[in-house]
Structure 1
Amino acid sequence: MMLESWSRWMEEEHTKIMINIFFATAAVFVGCKWLVKIAMRGKPPLPPGPRGLPLVGNLLFVEPDLHIYFSKLSKRFGPIFKIQMGTKIYIVINSAPLARQILKEDDAIFANHDPPLAALAETYGGRNLVWRPYGPEWRNLRKVFVREMMSKTFFDASNGLRRREVREMVKEIYAKVGSPIKVGDQVFLTSLNVVMNMLWGASLDTDKKISVGLEFRQVIDGIVDLLGTPNISDFFPILAPLDLQGIVSKILKLRSWLDRIFESVIAIKQTTKTNNEDKDFLQILLELMEHEDEKMPFSMTDIKALLLDIIIGGTDTSSTTVEWAMTELLRNPDIMKKVRKELERTVGNQKIVEEFHINELHYLQSVVKETMRLHPVLPLLVPHSPSVSTTIAGYAIPRGSNVFINIWLIMRDCKTWKNSLDFQPERFLEHPEIGDFRGNNFNYLPFGSGRRICPGINLGEKIIMYVLATLLHSFDWKVEEDTNLDLSERYGIITKKKDPLVAIPSARLSTFEQYC
């Protein structure tokens, strides 16, 4: 009897506690809303947006393909709207004029990014170019990267390295003629070796090249997937120490794999003497660290963060773009024929593609630009974050909020782009100015714009064009019967094909020597 009474009392007390918690939470929520309403009197309102639930906001209603979901919402709420996810406010920009205001007119205000916890873990606390706060350190780091690795002098000097790796790719594919291959994996491996050669003058060990290269891709794919995974700790920062989904611990484990590679290469470079004219990019960075310039402090962590930036930016984004381009060409045989004719006219079937041919391949350049228009690898760019509260289009944009630029929608806007959903490279031939990679046309922003525009445009463009031209010049490509070449996407920080492209190469050049 006594135990029964005790149990009943406990149930009653538990119910009372739960009721009290509910009412206390509701009171806090209503009170906060009331205080915000009072504080906002006479000030611009927040942008419109979908109604959410108390505490969680719109978290329960967000669809996986975020760029497509935001595009649907723009039809209801217009070119600018807000969405609340937990304690975070996200502002979504869906028009070129508003993108121009943020990325050009108010660029200084929106020059920061708000890194998610996964990005902070991946980049040693946001020490890289992508997530580092805008300021003197970021400017100095960017200056070093552009001056030392993106200069014409460096590109000319490293031409032989890129040529060697692209010829190695041709040899490997030639050995697989008649067999299906994953195009993205092959291009990733080539891009990785090109980038590593440019960074520290060596590629993967030949004996373990394929296995290590694929493991490299798995690690980078894992990092990219985790960066694009919604993290409850980002929406409710108070929960961050708990790492409830294990995202931070998983990304640290993947980063440690890359750490071991970076540290082994750095150790070798620190004991190697090289003439000034023969120094690679990593040796230049190590010298900067040793000089300990007070105006530009440079640590080992900074070096590793920058290496990681360049490897991910120069491999995963490039291989993804080439894979999308190959898919579109296989879906559009008439366009493929035009590319072939241009290659035959410019290069010929008795020679191989060289980098100097790229500037003459105007139609292929248009194919790449159209691929980036329909399939941008960063459909929402990297979210910007205003350093002060400001106003856009009459709406308040709070300091510290996240601002997405929905370039996926902007570059498919039927008001700007005729037959906007069709793959038509000719549009860039007829009007070359619309395909400006430098962010001056706010209807076309595959690399972003303003202060935080991608600094590796030259590298990305060169790798994509050289590899794609070589694949199309050296081989004919087809897919197996009954293969559906659909364009389904898998959203993430880098948006890829949902189903990897598998294609079968056949040799098309006249002599065996062209495949050596």
Structure 2
Amino acid sequence: MAFDAFLLRDIGIAIFIFFISHFFIGLILRNTSKNLPPGPRGWPILGVLPHLGTMPHVTLANMAKKFGPIMYLKMGTCDTVVASSSDAARAFLKTLDHNFLNRPTIIGATYLGYNSQDLVFAKYGPKWKLLRKLTTLHMLGGKALQNWANVRENEVKHMVRSIHESGKKGESIEVGGLLSCAITNMVSQVVLSKRMFASKGQESKEFKEMVVEFMTISGINIGDFVPFIGWIDLEGVVGKMKRLHKRFDEFLTKLIEDHVNCAHERKGNPDFLDIVLANDDDNFGERLSLSNIKALLLNLFTAGTDTSSSIIEWALAEMLKSPNILIRAQKEMNQVVGRERMLVESDLEKLPYLQAICKETYRLHPSTPLSVPRVSNKACQINGYYIPKNTRFNVNIWAIGRDPNIWANPLEFKPERFLSGKYARIDPSGVDFELIPFGAGRRVCVGYKMAIVVIEYILGTLVHSFDWKLPNGVELNMDEAFGLTLEKAVPLSATVTPRLVPHAYV
């Protein structure tokens, strides 16, 4: 028996040595035979994963200062390239966009995204094109956005009245929860023809917590990069995802069932979910499965709401940190809008300083600090470097926004930088690679137009309608919490004082 135990131990050691040797020999041969981009040496098997810490976007930005804007590294056993400058991002997302149209298989998309059946992680092809077409044509495109402008206006009024009542009572405003409730209701009225939450309360709070958990646990997980140990679930992430998926699936299943049961009430006036459920597009030869539809709804109610609310929360926090910015924005609004009425969307184009505040927030606090990963379909060359097939690719959007080669005083929140000079006309929709908060290329965020309108409109309304202050004895915390979205580690709370005439809040 003892001999057998020693034999098993020796066999195990031999197998371990074989895999370690194979890993290093393969790495050495690849680096010597191909001109890979420079990058840090990692640990055996784990690569650079142990070095990333809780703020991988910051760690990768610091690595890029040493190794350059196109950096190759081993994330576990996966070849990975990170672009950390606007020129590098342009080379990948414009010149070679066709080679990076697919997503890698990751745990979050598998367990939360109905096995990558959603718009974000679906394979590039007919089904993804159908999802994008339906969403753009009937909800998020320019004409569709105009069609539901009244929904946004009504929901903003609900939000302002709620804040006004809390302000009269001297209550602190929990900004994140308030924004999540308002934006979710905007989306649900277009998707479902009804407000999901009658008011900000326990139900909306629980939903916001589910969304934040979704975005947080969908970040970087060891099992995504070291597949053969993924089944162990060292971090307990898979278990959390399965439990969260069950809650979301029950929510979405009931939502769809209730919607189908009352379809007769919307005869001749279908909403977005009616259109998606009835889809049959000959151009793509595809029909959406129930999983596709659930996954799409999950996109709209998570990424579609959380990214916008996080940007607005960061913008308000920066204005509380620098009250002179808040005062200047309000002065602009006094001149354009006055204090006799609430701000409306048609005012936005006349408020360049408000737009500059939004752009500065995209720059310093991008909702997605590391772009959703892509993967190369085949080997390619870029800037003289060899990129192997099946290499994962990320843009460090956070690093580009803080690049001193682009931005003067990059750590300073200074909206004025967008009012004159070469960045006065910068477009955050993926055209100008110095500012790509929504990504770029064919897989740019499908909801970027909606996000820009919603962010400017809600932020402008909050700034115009109220004076904002921190509660007595509360210090402003600007720490980040990393996930698919860049949340504030400590949610923002504030007190308000009305700025408009009383009848404007009615």
Q: State if a TM-score over 0.5 links the two structures.
A: yes
Question: In 2, are the aligned partners of 1:204 and 1:212 still within 8 Å (CA)?
Answer: no
1:59 aligns with 2:49: yes
- Partner of 1:416: helix, strand, or coil? coil
Match of 1:406 among 375, 396, 403: 396
Q: What is the 5 A alignment of 1:5-84? A: 10=2, 14=5, 17-34=8-25, 37-38=28-29, 43-84=33-74
Question: In 2, are the aligned partners of 1:44 and 1:391 still within 8 Å (CA)?
Answer: no
Aligned length: 502
Cross-structure match for 2:276: 285
What is the TM-score when the length of structure 1 is the normalising length? 0.91
Q: Over residues 336-391 of structure 1, what are the superposed CA-to-partner deviations in whole Å (9 max), with x where a residue is unaligned? A: 11100111112111111122222222210110010110000111111121111222
Q: Over residues 295-314 of structure 1, what are the superposed CA-to-partner deviations in whole Å (9 max), with x where a residue is unaligned? A: 12212211111111111122
Cross-structure match for 1:180: 172
Runs (5+) with no aligned partner, structure 1: 1-8
1:239 aligns with 2:229: yes
Equivalent-residue separation in structure 1 for 2:486 and 2:139 (angstroms): 26
1:132 aligns with 2:132: no
Question: In 2, are the aligned partners of 1:378 and 1:493 still within 8 Å (CA)?
Answer: yes
1:193 aligns with 2:189: no
Q: What is the 5 A alignment of 1:214-363? A: 214-228=205-219, 230-271=220-261, 272-273=263-264, 278-288=269-279, 295-363=285-353
Equivalent-residue separation in structure 2 for 1:26 and 1:251 (angstroms): 34
Equivalent-residue separation in structure 2 for 1:212 and 1:180 (angstroms): 19
Distance 1:481 1:283, change over 3 A: same
| Distance apart, 1:218 and its partner CA | 1.1
- Partner of 1:199: helix, strand, or coil? helix
Letter in 1 for 2:488: K
| Distance apart, 1:152 and its partner CA | 3.8
Question: In 1, are the aligned partners of 2:37 and 2:386 still within 8 Å (CA)?
Answer: yes
- Partner of 1:81: helix, strand, or coil? strand
Question: In 1, are the aligned partners of 2:343 and 2:460 still within 8 Å (CA)?
Answer: yes
| Distance apart, 1:145 and its partner CA | 0.9
Match of 1:470 among 455, 461, 483: 461
**Higher gyration radius (CA):** 1
| Distance apart, 1:472 and its partner CA | 1.1
Match of 1:498 among 479, 489, 496: 489
Cross-structure match for 2:446: 455
Percent of aligned pairs sharing the same letter: 33
Equivalent-residue separation in structure 2 for 1:16 and 1:82 (angstroms): 40
Equivalent-residue separation in structure 1 for 2:66 and 2:7 (angstroms): 42
Question: In 1, are the aligned partners of 2:173 and 2:493 still within 8 Å (CA)?
Answer: yes
Distance 1:255 1:54, change over 3 A: closer
Equivalent-residue separation in structure 2 for 1:82 and 1:192 (angstroms): 39
Cross-structure match for 1:428: 418
Question: In 2, are the aligned partners of 1:476 and 1:508 still within 8 Å (CA)?
Answer: yes
Cross-structure match for 2:202: 211
Cross-structure match for 1:6: none
| Distance apart, 1:35 and its partner CA | 5.0
Q: Over residues 224-257 of structure 1, what are the superposed CA-to-partner deviations in whole Å (9 max), with x where a residue is unaligned? A: 11102x4332222123444444423322322232
| Distance apart, 1:434 and its partner CA | 4.9
Cross-structure match for 2:505: 515
Question: In 1, are the aligned partners of 2:362 and 2:435 still within 8 Å (CA)?
Answer: no
Distance 1:31 1:259, change over 3 A: closer
Letter in 2 for 1:235: F
Distance 1:405 1:151, change over 3 A: closer
Letter in 2 for 1:194: M
Question: In 2, are the aligned partners of 1:434 and 1:441 still within 8 Å (CA)?
Answer: no
Q: Which stretch shows the higher mean deviation, 353-362 or 303-312? A: 353-362
Q: Which stretch shows the higher mean deviation, 113-122 or 390-399? A: 390-399
Match of 2:382 among 392, 396, 415: 392
Cross-structure match for 2:478: 487
Distance 1:27 1:396, change over 3 A: same
Letter in 1 for 2:222: I
Q: Over residues 282-335 of structure 1, what are the superposed CA-to-partner deviations in whole Å (9 max), with x where a residue is unaligned? A: 11111116x798712212211111111111122111110011000111111221
| Distance apart, 1:128 and its partner CA | 1.0
1:417 aligns with 2:401: no
1:171 aligns with 2:192: no
Equivalent-residue separation in structure 2 for 1:220 and 1:149 (angstroms): 21
Distance 1:502 1:331, change over 3 A: same
1:120 aligns with 2:72: no
Question: In 2, are the aligned partners of 1:118 and 1:247 still within 8 Å (CA)?
Answer: no
Cross-structure match for 1:372: 362
Distance 1:152 1:55, change over 3 A: closer
| Distance apart, 1:491 and its partner CA | 1.2
C-alpha RMSD over aligned residues: 2.3
Equivalent-residue separation in structure 1 for 2:251 and 2:18 (angstroms): 53
Q: Which stretch shows the higher mean deviation, 75-84 or 13-22? A: 13-22
Distance 1:36 1:196, change over 3 A: same
Question: In 2, are the aligned partners of 1:480 and 1:503 still within 8 Å (CA)?
Answer: yes
Match of 1:109 among 99, 112, 131: 99
Question: In 2, are the aligned partners of 1:292 and 1:298 still within 8 Å (CA)?
Answer: no
Equivalent-residue separation in structure 1 for 2:283 and 2:96 (angstroms): 32
| Distance apart, 1:193 and its partner CA | 0.8
Q: Over residues 446-472 of structure 1, what are the superposed CA-to-partner deviations in whole Å (9 max), with x where a residue is unaligned? A: 111101111111111121111111111
What is the TM-score when the length of structure 2 is the normalising length? 0.93
| Distance apart, 1:503 and its partner CA | 0.7
- Partner of 2:264: helix, strand, or coil? coil
Equivalent-residue separation in structure 2 for 1:199 and 1:172 (angstroms): 23
1:202 aligns with 2:221: no
Distance 1:319 1:39, change over 3 A: closer
Letter in 1 for 2:374: H
Letter in 1 for 2:97: D
Cross-structure match for 2:135: 145
